[in-house]
Structure 1
Amino acid sequence: MSAPTTALGLRMPDRAAWRIVVRVLLYALVLFVFFMPLWTMAATVFSGGQPKSGQMSLLPRHFTLSNLTTAFRFGVGRGLLNSVVVTGVGLFLQVTVSAFAAYALARKKFRGQALVLLAILSTMMMPEEVIAIPLYLVLGKVPDPLGGSSLLDSYSGLILPVVGWALPIYVLTGFMKTIPVELEEAARMDGAGDLRIFFQIILPLCRAALGTCAVFGFLMIWDQYLLPLLVAQSPHMYTMTLVVTSLSSSQEQTEGVRLAASLMLMVPSVLVYLGLQRLFERGMLNGSLKG
């Protein structure tokens, strides 16, 4: 069948072609809105010269790595190392503790269970600024398990306060309640204990929820500012957020150096989010097929 024509005999465009054009335009708009700020920041970082405050470049001019090397020389390397250590260990402990707590709240029946869950959720309603001073006093009196006199100015002080977070406990508890109890009963009939059921049945089915908790947990720990500000007493314990703040407030550094530090703070979040997003999608697919 020939394509429809207008009154003047002109051929009308196919609907499929129009859909492709509209889709391409929408993709281009989304790419421009979300990718352009990152691109202009990177172009300014790798450009030579000294841009003025607030000035950005669309294309790198006189490609150079001097801004990055200067940023690393002024603490970005140490801050990046501290952030990676704190985020890696803290995220692992946070997801582990949250999974065990959620399993107990979702599968075990005990007196006061609802009150325990309510107490955990109530911590999400309390701003960090409210507990800043009590947290500082507690960290100053608790000895460091790694050998220090207190948790201040130590990795333990940066990691332990972020281990307990109500959001992953709430998400995992709700997800585990949707898992059929018959699977657990069948495993118990085969002689499986709680730990075997937890690691071989519950956790594989919770892969989607674990991916979601890992994304939010990473972003929460990586972007922490108030906690490192309270704990870090010396520059060698600064995380990336403190390093970027110190460089931004410095009048001696150029705009390119400040943007280089900001770029190093932003890129890991983008990469980890994209990587864990794929894990989240695979977990959703596996959960739907098994359910």
Structure 2
Amino acid sequence: MSRTERFDTALGFTSSRHPVTRILRWGVYVVCIVVFAGPLLSLLINAFTPVSNPTSLTLIPDTVTFDNFTRAFDRGVLGYLLNSFFVVGFGLLAQILVSLSAAYALARKKFPGMRLVLLLILSTMMLPEEILAIPLSLVLADVPFIGVNLIGSLFGMIIPVAAWGFSILVMTEFMKEIPVELEEAARIDGAGEFRIFISVILPLCRPALGVIGIFGFVMIWDQYMLPLLVATDTAQYTLPLALRTLRSDPQVGLGVLLAAALLALLPSVIAFLAMQRQFMKGLTSGAVKG
């Protein structure tokens, strides 16, 4: 490889030994880091700093305190956090189960109207939450066939997120790439439909599970409209909805709001760090197959 050979970087620059080019490149890197990481770093630092004035945020704190979190817990933030974990835990579990079942039927089976079903699933991703708000509230107030009212219940926040078109489509396209010969070999060995799904298909879907797991977690965790429709009491609020209440309360200081915002941010970051290996495999699997 010659010394004059250049490589394109992610930002479109070419690797060069010229001093001006290197300074310009690193200058752009620093600007990108400040723009994207600056607000997060400021949130992290000032959540542990006494803040009385919105214009006094700093990246170099004079003192470190947990008083903001103590006051946030006194405001019920811990209960809101537990509600969010309850909703995202059961909601994500239901979403993964529904996505796996629907994707297996759409990817490995042939039945009349399959294209129509895929079109309907895709159409659900094109409608904004504001359009679905009123019909959804009417359905949750009187669930068809069983006549149960889920308004005022955390389960009313779980049932609507159990089926998400994005997760179903991702799993469907991934399962289509699994060789049919693996199923045929399992059937020759006497495996049934359920055994094939559990022992053959499911282990190969781990990269896709990482993708829908992270996106599903973030989607459910960041829900605002759904808890707003379902909750009838502040005790049923999830943390994103509670942030609005804390912000509108003049007695709540900025430090308490920053502490609550940090608690709302950390679970998504931890979820990504815990599943990043499977997530990256899922994103790149389609590029290396075939």
Whether these two folds match at TM > 0.5 is yes
Q: Deviations over 1:155-206 (max 9, x none)?
A: 2101001001100111111111111111111111111111111111111111
Hey, what's the Cα distance between the residues in 1 that align with 2:101 and 2:22?
48
Hey, what's the Cα distance between the residues in 2 that align with 1:229 and 1:284?
33
1:21 Cα offset (Å): 9.1
- Two-structure CA RMSD over aligned residues (Å): 2.9
1:284 Cα offset (Å): 6.9
Aligned pairs for 1:68-87 (under 5 A) are 68-87=69-88
Aligned pairs for 1:104-143 (under 5 A) are 104-142=105-143
1:289 Cα offset (Å): 9.4
Match of 1:36 in 2: 38
Residue identity matched to 1:247: L
Match of 1:178 in 2: 177
1:267 correspondence with 2:266? yes
Hey, what's the Cα distance between the residues in 1 that align with 2:184 and 2:71?
60
Q: Deviations over 1:206-242 (max 9, x none)?
A: 1111111111101100000000000011111100011
Q: Which has the larger radius of gyration?
A: 1
When structure 1 is superposed on structure 2, of 36-45 and 179-188 the one drifting more is 36-45
Residue identity matched to 1:76: V
Hey, what's the Cα distance between the residues in 2 that align with 1:198 and 1:39?
44
Secondary structure of the 2:252 match is coil
Secondary structure of the 1:131 match is helix
Hey, what's the Cα distance between the residues in 2 that align with 1:138 and 1:195?
33
Q: Is the 8 A contact 1:206 1:287 kept in 2?
A: no
User: Residues 53 and 277 of structure 1: is their aligned pair in 2 closer, same or farther, counting only changes over 3 Å?
Assistant: same
Secondary structure of the 2:131 match is coil
Percent of pairs with identical residues: 51
1:246 correspondence with 2:245? yes
Secondary structure of the 2:76 match is helix
User: Residues 198 and 54 of structure 1: is their aligned pair in 2 closer, same or farther, counting only changes over 3 Å?
Assistant: farther
Residue identity matched to 1:64: T
User: Residues 121 and 227 of structure 1: is their aligned pair in 2 closer, same or farther, counting only changes over 3 Å?
Assistant: same
Structure 2 stretches lacking a partner, 5+ long? 1-15
1:103 Cα offset (Å): 0.5
Taking structure 2 as the reference length, the TM-score comes to: 0.85
Residue identity matched to 1:68: F
When structure 1 is superposed on structure 2, of 248-257 and 278-287 the one drifting more is 278-287
Match of 2:7 in 1: none
Match of 1:5 in 2: none
User: Residues 20 and 61 of structure 1: is their aligned pair in 2 closer, same or farther, counting only changes over 3 Å?
Assistant: same
User: Residues 27 and 95 of structure 1: is their aligned pair in 2 closer, same or farther, counting only changes over 3 Å?
Assistant: farther
1:57 correspondence with 2:58? yes
Residue identity matched to 1:36: G
Q: Is the 8 A contact 2:151 2:230 kept in 1?
A: yes
Hey, what's the Cα distance between the residues in 1 that align with 2:159 and 2:221?
14
Match of 1:207 in 2: 206
Q: Is the 8 A contact 1:208 1:287 kept in 2?
A: no
User: Residues 51 and 133 of structure 1: is their aligned pair in 2 closer, same or farther, counting only changes over 3 Å?
Assistant: same
Q: Is the 8 A contact 2:211 2:278 kept in 1?
A: no
When structure 1 is superposed on structure 2, of 129-138 and 28-37 the one drifting more is 28-37
Taking structure 1 as the reference length, the TM-score comes to: 0.85
Residue identity matched to 2:267: P
Residue identity matched to 1:255: L
Match of 2:162 in 1: 163
Q: Is the 8 A contact 1:244 1:261 kept in 2?
A: yes
Hey, what's the Cα distance between the residues in 2 that align with 1:18 and 1:271?
39
Aligned residues: 275
Residue identity matched to 1:51: S
Match of 1:234 in 2: 233
Hey, what's the Cα distance between the residues in 2 that align with 1:30 and 1:193?
53
1:20 Cα offset (Å): 10
1:19 Cα offset (Å): 11
Secondary structure of the 2:202 match is helix
